[in-house]
Each structure stands twice: as structure tokens, then as C-alpha cells.
Amino acid sequence: MRVEVQGLTVRYGDVTAIDDMSFTLSGNKIYGLLGRNGAGKTSLMSALAGYRKPSGTVQLDGVPVFENAAAMRRVCLVRHSADAADKGDKVSHVLEYGAAWRDTWDNDYALELTELFKIGLRTKVGELSLGQRSALGVVIGLASRSPLTMLDESHLGMDTPTRYAFYDTLLHDFMAHPRTIMISTHLIEELSSLLEEVVIVDAGRLVLQEEADVLRSRGTEVTGNASDVDEFTAGMTVLGEKSLGRTKAAMVYGALEDDQLIRARGLGLELGPIALQDLFVHLTDPVGGKR
Amino acid sequence: MFDDRSPIYRQIADRIKADVLSGALKADEQVMSTNQYAAYYRINPATAAKAFQQLVDEQVLYKKRGIGMFVSTRARDMLRAQGRETFFGEVVDPMVAEARAIGIPLAEVIRRIEQHENNGGV
Amino acid sequence: MKIFRRLTAALGLFSAMVAGGAFVFVVALTFVVSIFRDVEISAWNVVASQVGPWFLLFIGVYAIHNMMPVAVAHGRTRREFLLAASAFSVVLAVVMTATEWLGFLVEGGIYSLMDWRADEHGAQLSYFLMYLVWIAVGMLCAAAFDRYGGGGLFVLPVALALVVVTRLRMPGSGNLPFVDDTPDLFGSALPAVLVLSFVVALAGTWVIARDMPIRQRTS
């Protein structure tokens, strides 16, 4: 599903959670929505899911989503506390709501997933552990088979084996039923190999939107004599620096041209890759080097 | 598994090439489908597809419509030829530089290589 | 239609079961009381006129506060939900009025068999309209508090005004706080005023909930 956001702003009283954000997602991919706590991830997803009235426009496949019955049918957002489940309801009731209200709901799959995540059908939602409630959110999200499915911090409280079961399930279901999936997280290292595209937000603004694999090739760590590093990185986007004695390491963002590679070799500089996780940290670092 | 420090599609392509070179993947042998590969290594299927497409473009693999992808007959020879081209630049030259840096005379390095030759190594 | 069916199946059935349970309870209680003293009032009327409205207020609150966010999270619009909830409030009021009527019927039989005396109770229409208004007022209050938090307090005077009229000419409903004798204000226009109360409460709910954000549940 194609997602278009134009001039989106979300305010809570004096706090601006999303500040005039615009982007387009072409759809049918797994997207990672990355940002620090309070960066605006949940607010953004809430606007995409029609949970709140947007100022600016949010369109799914070319039509506004807010209070649009046809568009709402095709979107599902599960925020960490399982929106589609009332605390007093039993898990089985939650699935009944899904079956009753969602045209695309796959109940057999929902039951299969509750078994996989060991969620008791007769347990009340309020009595589930945090990890189980997160898992129930994943069940609701995946079993909805919505053309746009968004999972907000779905890993919260899950132990490591459960998280990997979640990743595997997500991947299998995505391959069997390709659709637009957006996952917000800050556990980037674990999840990043699943992502095709990455959207990074910080302080309510879009920092970048890029194919994950392209992003992995964008960051370079330049290490060497401090003055040589400074000379080499002049005019480049430097995300962060650290020094040890006369040696300096600078994180540079952007693809390096051949002549730059030759020059680096001439200066005796060492060039190394930067992990996506580190790149994210530096791109959203409030005290990070020069921006 | 794949690390997060360079494009994953490139790591996949390199791994398959290494398997072809070592003989783990034989000529005309079918390789895993992108979805199998993605599920097995827990990676995005589009990333796996991109790696496979690159290998098809480089003629390491070929597609049989509706069946899958196979190792090209001449993939191994081709990769060996490419490897020979870059071997001295990427393996020998850095080794010589390293030997110089830590003070090993090149004559000693050469002697060592000759020992390998005499012991029947390739 | 799907939401309406779900509301009716879940809340309608639940309400009828609660009413049935309450009936069994008060009949048993009446028998216990009859051991110690003469029975002079209809116990069922206490339920029908006093407990019932509060229960329906709760159902109205539950519908908006608990079920609407779930419906939106399952891809339904607020409009669809409010339409269904509006229709449901009428249906629930009808069901509860029928339950109330049936209760009086059975209770009347038991009373004449036991030779007990009952006080008078209201007309069916009064019960129906009272239930209708209380459900809608429950929805109105839930919408206001969900949307405005503490600011939702402003709705309470309005809500009070809307429910006060339902107590006029309702025998056995007791007196309201601060008002000793509720005067017969509207005469024969009272049913119309009650319908108006219902419409006002429902319209208020629509205005407030129509574009209400779906907040995160605190765990």
C-alpha cells in the first residue's frame, strides 16, 4: 500500500510531536521506523492509522485515511499496549472482535500464533505479562493481514527466543502475504536484516528515508593522524568524532568517490564500515558532532 | 550470519561465490530460492533477491523460468579467473606490506611459500 | 451492521443476564424480608427505577470508553461505531423495558399468590425513555472524559440536567439530592422532553467523539 504524508503536524498542547513531516512509502516492503524515545514514532503511526485527525494530509493509496471506512479497513496499528484488546476481555474475545470486525482477519492463523506465543485463550488481557501482551499485539497485527500493518515497539517485554520467533513469523507471513509492514523499534541490530527500507525520525522530523542496504554502505569511519583526518573530512558530513592522542576517528556519512578513496590511501588513512546501529545513534544524537 | 556493517546483498553474493569457488556448489546445481534463503538467514527477501539478481547479472547463476536458479557451467572458472586478477593486489601486496612493517625479510616469506610448495600444497 | 451485531451480542445479552440475575435476587430478598415484616413495596421497582438506570449509564460508558477504541483499532471508523451505538442504545432500552415489564408481570403473580402489597409503578413508556436517556448520557460522559480528561467535568451539569427529567413522575424512584419534590414541570409534554434529552445526549456524544483521538491504554 502506498503511503503519502504531506505536511503532517501532531501537537499535544504545547508539545509538538510531529513537525511538518512529509514522505512517501511506495509500499509492499518491510519498513523500519527508527527513532529515539519521544522522537514521534507512535504519533506518526497513530496518524497513519487514523487514530487521530491529522493536520496536514495522510493518504493511503491516494485517499485520506481519517474516518474513511474503506481506507480504515485496510490498516492496522498495534501500539505496545495492544489497542485492539480491552484489559477486561479474555484473549478469546479479542480474537472474536478481530474475526467480527475485520474482513481480512485469518482466525486459524490467529489461533496458530496464540499457540506459538503460548498465550492462553481464557486469560484476561490485563493478566498477561508485558511480553505476552506484546505477543498478543503481534497476533492481532499479523492475523489482521492488513495491507498496511504497523507494529509499534512490539518486542517490548519479549525474551530473546520469543523475539526471534516473532521475527521468523513476521518474515514467513510477509513472504506468504506480501504487504506493507512498518515496525518501530530501537533494537536495530536484531531487526535490521529484516528491513528493506528505513525511516529515521528525530524530534518530530524526518532525518532520512533510505534502503537499509544502501544505508549500510553510506557510513564510513575514517581513522588516522588527527590533522590528516580533519583535512580529509573537510566539507563532508561528519556525524561524530573521537580522538585518542594524535589519532582521530571520524564518522562520515555519504558514499565516497574513487578519487576520495585514493586520497585517503595517500594520506595513510584507514577506512572502515559503520554498523547501522551506530549510524542511527549518530544520526539522532543530540550532542553528536557536527550535523 | 550477516553483519550490519556492509550491504547484506553483497555479503550474500560473496558467500555464494565462495561456495562456488570451494566446490560446495557445483555447476548446474540448483541454489536455494530467495524465500528459502531469506527465511533461513532471517533476512529481507528483497535483499536476498537483489543478491541473486546481481549473481545472475554477473553470470554466476542462471534462471530457469518457474523452476529456480542454478550455478552456471562456467561460473567456477570465471570466478577463479577474477580471483587471480585481484589476488596479488588484495592478498599478496598487503601481506608484503605487513611483513615489512613487522620486519620480516621478504626472503623469509618466500622460503615459507616454497616450503608449502614442497609439502605438496597447491 | 457488524458493530451493531457485536454490541448487541456482547452487551445486550450481558445486560439481559444481569437483569435476570437481579430479578432472582430481589425475589429471594423479598421472601426473606416477608419473614420479618409485611411486604409493602415492589422490590422489582427498586431495581427497575433506581438500579437499572445506573447500570445502563455504565453500559453507555463502557460502549464509548472500552469498545470504541477497540473498534477503531480493528479498522472501523468512529462514525460507523457511533451509528451502531446509537441504534444499539434504542434496542437495549427496548430490551430492558421488556425485561422490566416481564419482571413486573412475574412479580405481580408472586405478590398476589403470597398476598403481598406492592406500591404503584410507572408506565412502560416512562421506563423506556428513562433507560434511553441514561444510556446516551453514559456515552456522553465517557466521550467527554476520554477526550478532555479532567476538562470533561463540564459535561456533568449537562448530564445531570438531562437525567433529572427522567425522574419526574417516576414512582418509587426516590427524591433527587437537593430537590425534595420534583414538580410536574412539563405536563403532557414530558415524553417529548425525554426524547429531546436523549437526542441532546446522543448529539453531544457524536460531536465530541466524532474525531476523538484514540489514546494509548495505560497498562
- Chains in touch with A (3+ beta-carbon pairs under 8 Å) read B, C
Q: What is the pLDDT of residues C82-120, one digit of tens each?
A: 999 999 999 999 999 999 999 999 988 988 888 887 777
Mean pLDDT to the nearest integer, B15-32? 90
> According to the model, what pLDDT value does residue C111 have?
87
Q: Across all residues in chain C, what is the average pLDDT?
A: 86
- Cα diameter, chain A: 69
Mean pLDDT to the nearest integer, C184-190? 71
What is the C-alpha to C-alpha distance for residues B107 and B116, in angstroms, rounded to an integer? 15
User: Is A210 a domain residue?
Assistant: no
- Please tell me the total count of domains within chain A: 2
**Minimal-distance CA residue of chain B relative to A32:** B44
Burial degree of C186 (CB within 10 A; 0-12, 13-18, 19+): middle
Q: Give the residue, A181 or B75, on which the prediction is more confident.
A: A181
> According to the model, what pLDDT value does residue B1 have?
63
Mean pLDDT to the nearest integer, B26-45? 91
How far off is chain C from A102, nearest CA to CA, in Å?
6
Q: What is the pLDDT of residues A189-244, one digit of tens each?
A: 888 899 999 999 999 999 999 999 888 888 888 999 898 998 888 888 888 888 88
A181 and A244 housed in the same domain? no
Mean pLDDT to the nearest integer, A104-119? 95
A101 and A235 housed in the same domain? no
A39 and A105 housed in the same domain? yes
Q: Are A191 and A180 in contact (CB under 8 A)?
A: no
User: Is A289 a domain residue?
Assistant: no
User: Which of the given ranges, A193-197, B74-78, C31-35, C214-218, has the highest pLDDT on average?
Assistant: A193-197
> According to the model, what pLDDT value does residue A289 have?
42
Q: Are A104 and A143 in contact (CB under 8 A)?
A: no
Cross-chain CB nearest to A193 (options B2, B6, B50): B2
A58 and A173 housed in the same domain? yes
User: Does A100 contact C214 at a Cβ distance shorter than 8 Å?
Assistant: no
Cross-chain CB nearest to C79 (options A67, A73, A76): A67
A135 and A169 housed in the same domain? yes
User: Is A138 a domain residue?
Assistant: yes
Across A145-154, A214-223, A231-240, C165-174, least confident range: C165-174
Q: Would you tell me the crossing angle of helices B93-101 and B106-118 to the nearest 10 degrees?
A: 130
> According to the model, what pLDDT value does residue A216 have?
86
pLDDT-derived band at C172 (thresholds 50, 70, 90) equals low
A28 and A153 housed in the same domain? yes
pTM equals 0.86
Instruction: Answer yes or no: is pLDDT of A92 > 80.
Output: yes
User: Does A101 contact C213 at a Cβ distance shorter than 8 Å?
Assistant: no
Sole residue written with cell 616469506: B109
Asked if A212 is an interface residue toward chain B (Cβ–Cβ < 8 A), one would say yes
**3-class DSSP assignment, residue A54:** coil
> According to the model, what pLDDT value does residue A290 have?
41
> According to the model, what pLDDT value does residue A68 have?
94
User: Does A171 contact B42 at a Cβ distance shorter than 8 Å?
Assistant: yes
A48 and A68 housed in the same domain? yes
User: Does A213 contact B39 at a Cβ distance shorter than 8 Å?
Assistant: no
Chain B neighbors of A30, CB-CB under 8 A: 44
> According to the model, what pLDDT value does residue A91 have?
92
Q: Across all residues in chain A, what is the average pLDDT?
A: 89
Instruction: Answer yes or no: is pLDDT of B3 > 90.
Output: no
How far off is chain B from A171, nearest CA to CA, in Å?
7
Chain A neighbors of C79, CB-CB under 8 A: 67, 69
- Please tell me the total count of domains within chain C: 1
User: Is C218 a domain residue?
Assistant: no
A191 and A251 housed in the same domain? no
Q: Does chain A reach chain C with at least 3 CB pairs under 8 Å?
A: yes
Tell which residue, A136, A130, A132, A195, has the closest CA to residue A167.
A195
**Minimal-distance CA residue of chain B relative to A192:** B4
How far off is chain B from A188, nearest CA to CA, in Å?
10
User: Is A288 a domain residue?
Assistant: no
Asked if B41 is an interface residue toward chain A (Cβ–Cβ < 8 A), one would say yes
DSSP label of C64:
I
Instruction: Answer yes or no: is pLDDT of C1 > 80.
Output: no
How far off is chain C from A245, nearest CA to CA, in Å?
50
User: Does A81 contact C67 at a Cβ distance shorter than 8 Å?
Assistant: no
User: Is A92 a domain residue?
Assistant: yes
**Minimal-distance CA residue of chain A relative to C5:** A100
Mean pLDDT to the nearest integer, C155-172? 80
User: Does B6 contact A273 at a Cβ distance shorter than 8 Å?
Assistant: yes
**Minimal-distance CA residue of chain A relative to B50:** A213
Q: Which triple of cell numbers denotes residue B76?
A: 567456477
**Minimal-distance CA residue of chain A relative to B8:** A213
Mean pLDDT to the nearest integer, A89-99? 90
Instruction: Answer yes or no: is pLDDT of C6 > 60.
Output: yes
> According to the model, what pLDDT value does residue A189 have?
83
Outline where DSSP puts E strands in B8-108: 61-64, 68-71
Q: Which triple of cell numbers denotes residue A74?
A: 485496510
Across A16-20, A158-162, A185-189, least confident range: A185-189
Asked if B9 is an interface residue toward chain A (Cβ–Cβ < 8 A), one would say yes
> According to the model, what pLDDT value does residue C171 have?
64
A138 and A239 housed in the same domain? no
Fold of B8-73: Arc Repressor Mutant, subunit A (1.10.10)
Domain range summary for chain B, segments of one domain joined by +: 8-73, 84-118
Q: Which of A1, A51, A107 to mutate to test the interface with C (most CBs of C within 10 A)?
A: A51
A71 and A14 housed in the same domain? yes
Q: Give the residue, B60 or C121, on which the prediction is more confident.
A: B60
User: Does C74 contact A67 at a Cβ distance shorter than 8 Å?
Assistant: no
Q: Across all residues in chain B, what is the average pLDDT?
A: 88
How far off is chain A from C86, nearest CA to CA, in Å?
17
A264 and A180 housed in the same domain? no
Q: Is the dihedral of CA C68, C8, A132, A34 positive or negative?
A: negative
What is the b/e burial string over A25-59, where b = at least 16 CB atoms within 10 angstroms of the residue's CB?
bebebbbbbbbbeebbbbbbbbbbbbbbebeeebb
Mean pLDDT to the nearest integer, A110-138? 93
What is the C-alpha to C-alpha distance for residues A197 and C47, in angstroms, rounded to an integer? 60
Query: A102 is in which domain, residue-wise?
Result: 3-203
Q: Is the dihedral of CA A16, A137, A25, B35 positive or negative?
A: positive
What is the C-alpha to C-alpha distance for residues A254 and A260, in angstroms, rounded to an integer? 12
How far off is chain A from C81, nearest CA to CA, in Å?
11
pLDDT-derived band at A283 (thresholds 50, 70, 90) equals confident
Across A134-143, B97-106, C210-219, least confident range: C210-219
A53: domain CATH number is 3.40.50.300
Number of helices followed by number of strands (H, E) in chain B? 6, 2
What is the C-alpha to C-alpha distance for residues A214 and C29, in angstroms, rounded to an integer? 76
User: Does C70 contact A85 at a Cβ distance shorter than 8 Å?
Assistant: yes
Asked if B46 is an interface residue toward chain A (Cβ–Cβ < 8 A), one would say yes
pLDDT-derived band at C147 (thresholds 50, 70, 90) equals very high
Query: C177 is in which domain, residue-wise?
Result: 2-209
> According to the model, what pLDDT value does residue A291 have?
39
**Minimal-distance CA residue of chain B relative to A277:** B4
